[in-house]
Structure 1
Amino acid sequence: MGRYLDRARPFLGRDTSGFLDGGRYALIHTRSLEFDDLRPYVRGDDVRDIDWKASARSGDVLIKRFVSERHHKILVVADAGRNMLGESPTGERKYTVAANVIGSVGLVTLRRSDEIGMVFGDARGCLDIRLRRGETHVEYLLSHFHDHIRKRPGRSDVVTQLEWVAEHYRRPHLLVVVSDEPEVDDRLADVLTRIRARHDVLWAMVADHPAADDADDALGQDVVGGATVLSGAELGPQVVAAYVESERLRREELSEFMTSHAIPHALITGSSGIREGLVWLTGVYARAG
């Protein structure tokens, strides 16, 4: 493994079975005759795939799973702008969490032999790395993401990357968007309407460290504009409480917006939450198939 993939692996774990099974463009719709493993029966499975002998031994109804013959085309759409220089709630830089999310998605593709590419950048434009397979290619994606972040990135604007995809990717892909929490506005609504007409979308959002809380007694700095952010102690409990409530309402609005556009989404507060977030996202995707 390359160094960036090695960093991501502990947060996904070694068991990647079940990720991305199902879905509109899923490989589970066609199969080879090569047996893979067994899993519990769920309502809607083809009863012809039940392994009766294994079921009798285990006491549970088990389904045979087969190696897929066709593969997903996965396009990561990543914010590599200044927003990602900020801290997540765990104290990690958001770009570190984002890179581990991208690496984890890449690790899932290795077992399945899926193709993966990436569109990333900031408000100034996009870099487009075309789809390929393999460990070396995933490491290549991650190294270029890190290189961009280290070279004084521009203002974050993930809509710029989404508009590029809407314009240049005509064939259906599974898009995995990795960014912080986007601002809900007409531009975002317009591009998502266009994208959802052609692609499936999963959105992994890296959470911001709270700007203020009651336990915070240190000054902060806005990574976008450079302004000083007052501590919770200086702002006082009433201001902090109002901020916390406004953040709750903002996140509620964002979640409702994503749901209205049929986009599974997960808020990831740090690298330790990546597996849980991806399990949720890919589970929703599989059930939608």
Structure 2
Amino acid sequence: MTSLLQRVKSKMAIFAHRKARGMLDGEYGSVFRGRSLDFDDLRVYIPGDEVRDIDWKASARYGSPLIKRYVAVRRQTVLLIADTGRNMAAQSRDGEIKKDIAVMALGVIGYLAHRHGDVVGLVCGDGDGTRSIPAKAGEAHLERLLRTVDAGTSLDAAPSRIEEQLEHVARTVKGRFLLFVVADELAADPAMEQLLRRLRAQHEILWLTIRDAELAGAGPAALDAINVADSSLLMRHLADSPAVAAAYAGAALDRDAGRHGMFRRAGISEGHVASSHGVMTELFALLERHRRAG
């Protein structure tokens, strides 16, 4: 049986050369900056460094800008939160199965955590229930987490409802963690926004949305499609109607705008991805946005 983690590591090697992987490592390490960190040393300022990290007194003595560097004084805990409802067994915008993209994204963040000496746990599930695996270290443990997500996501599962998993975290998780959420496209909702604000007050949160397949534009030869969320039939001849396609696109834009606004107000950085090929690039951008927002 092929290792899912090995597959993730192979794709990381393909899609990012050594310098890019080093930059991704650096962005991951910056997430906990200022929290449980001790001063390490100073180094010369490089264009692109955060101005807030400049040690102005030391810079005045040295004659040019110097940056403070820190080291973590203890391991951090990363909690992977995965939607394993049947929505994630559907196709993404680029035609790939969503759960394969989710496994790639969870594997990258989990492997970065492993490289930094952090421990990783998992909360996953659907509208019918939630499963939790405590945080541990090691590649064997990370492989178990990825297999849990992969095996638990199917068309036979209950519909996705990431709120259930987030409520579980809010009720049961103590301490300050990094929450990395991978989920289907979510509609904004006041109750959901309140829950996100509650979680954000305690944790660092990174959110990756996997984009839905587009119904329109598949061509007249395509068969009717099924909405996996409720098993309803989506008539292809309606999808090919310009009026229906325009209405669908408008509704999708409104939903996206509502979700973006909800995350912005809650102080949560969100990324979007439509294929496993885009995971590395989007995760780098997501970590960088989170660092700059913090």
Is the TM-score greater than 0.5? yes
Q: Which residue of 2 aligns with 1:72?
A: 76
1:282 — aligned with what?
A: 287
Q: Please name the residue that 1:6 is paired with.
A: 6
Contact 1:121 1:127 in 2 (8 A): yes
Measure how far apart 1:69 and its partner are: 3.2
Looking at structure 1, the residues matched to 136 and 74 of structure 2 have their Cα atoms a distance apart, in angstroms, of 14
Which range is displaced more, 206-215 or 10-19?
10-19
**Counterpart pick for 1:196 among 177, 184, 200:** 200
Q: Which secondary structure does the structure 1 equivalent of 2:80 belong to?
A: strand
Q: What does 1:28-39 align with in structure 2 at a 5 Å threshold?
A: 29-32=37-40
Instruction: Indicate yes or no: 2:225 matched with 1:220.
Output: yes
| 1:185 matches 2:189 | yes
Q: Which of 246, 249, 256 in structure 1 is aligned with 2:254?
A: 249
Deviations 1:74-115 (A, max 9, x none): 111110011001100111100110111100111211221111
Look up the match of 2:242: 237
Rounded Cα–Cα distance in structure 2 between residues aligned with 1:69 and 1:82: 40
Q: Distance in 2 between matches of 1:128 and 1:186?
A: 26
> Which residue of the partner structure matches residue 274 of structure 2?
269
Shift of 1:287: 2.4
String of CA shifts for 1:16-52, please: whole Å, max 9, x gaps. 421223345656832557x99x9654312234898xx
Of 107, 114, 119, which residue of structure 1 is paired with 2:123?
Answer: 119
Distance between the aligned counterparts of 2:91 and 2:55, measured in 1? 49
Length-normalised TM-score, structure 2: 0.84
Over 3 Å counting, the alpha-carbon distance change for 1:153 and 1:66 in structure 2 is: same
Same amino acid, percent of matched pairs: 28
Structure 1 distance, partners of 2:149, 2:34, is 27
Which region of structure 1 is more displaced relative to structure 2, 41-50 or 252-261?
41-50
Q: 2:39–2:68: 8 Å Cα contact kept in structure 1?
A: no
CA change 1:92–1:185 in 2 (3 A) is: same
Report how many residues are paired.
281
Unaligned runs of 5+ residues in structure 2 are none
Change (3 A) 1:216 1:261: farther
- State the Cα distance separating 1:197 from its structure 2 match: 2.1
Q: 1:234 to 1:113 in 2, by over 3 A?
A: closer
Residue in 2 aligned with 1:170? 174
- 1:254–1:216: structure 2 CA closer, same or farther, 3 Å change rule? farther
Alpha carbons of 1:217 and 1:249: their partners in 2 closer, same or farther (altered >3 Å)?
farther
Residue 229 of structure 1, CA deviation: 1.5
Instruction: State the secondary structure of the residue aligned to 2:153.
Output: helix
Among candidates 104, 126, 140, match of residue 108 of structure 2: 104
Contact 1:215 1:232 in 2 (8 A): no
Q: Is the 1:30–1:70 contact (alpha carbons within 8 Å) kept by the matching residues of 2?
A: no
Partner of 1:42: 50
Which whole-Å CA distance do the structure 1 matches of 2:172 and 2:36 have between them?
Answer: 27
Q: 1:242 to 1:187 in 2, by over 3 A?
A: same
Spell out the pairing of 1:18-29 with structure 2 (5 A cutoff).
18-23=26-31, 29=37
| Unmatched runs of 5 consecutive residues or more in structure 1 | none
Separation in structure 2 between the aligned mates of residue 263 and residue 47 of structure 1, nearest angstrom:
29
Contact 2:88 2:184 in 1 (8 A): yes
Structure-2 change in CA distance of 1:26 and 1:148 (3 Å): farther
C-alpha displacement of 1:137: 1.3
Task: Report the counterpart of residue 144 of structure 1 in structure 2.
Answer: 148
C-alpha distance in structure 1 between counterparts of 2:178 and 2:187, whole Å: 22
Structure 2 residue 25 is matched with structure 1 residue 17? yes
Question: Offset at 1:62?
Answer: 7.9
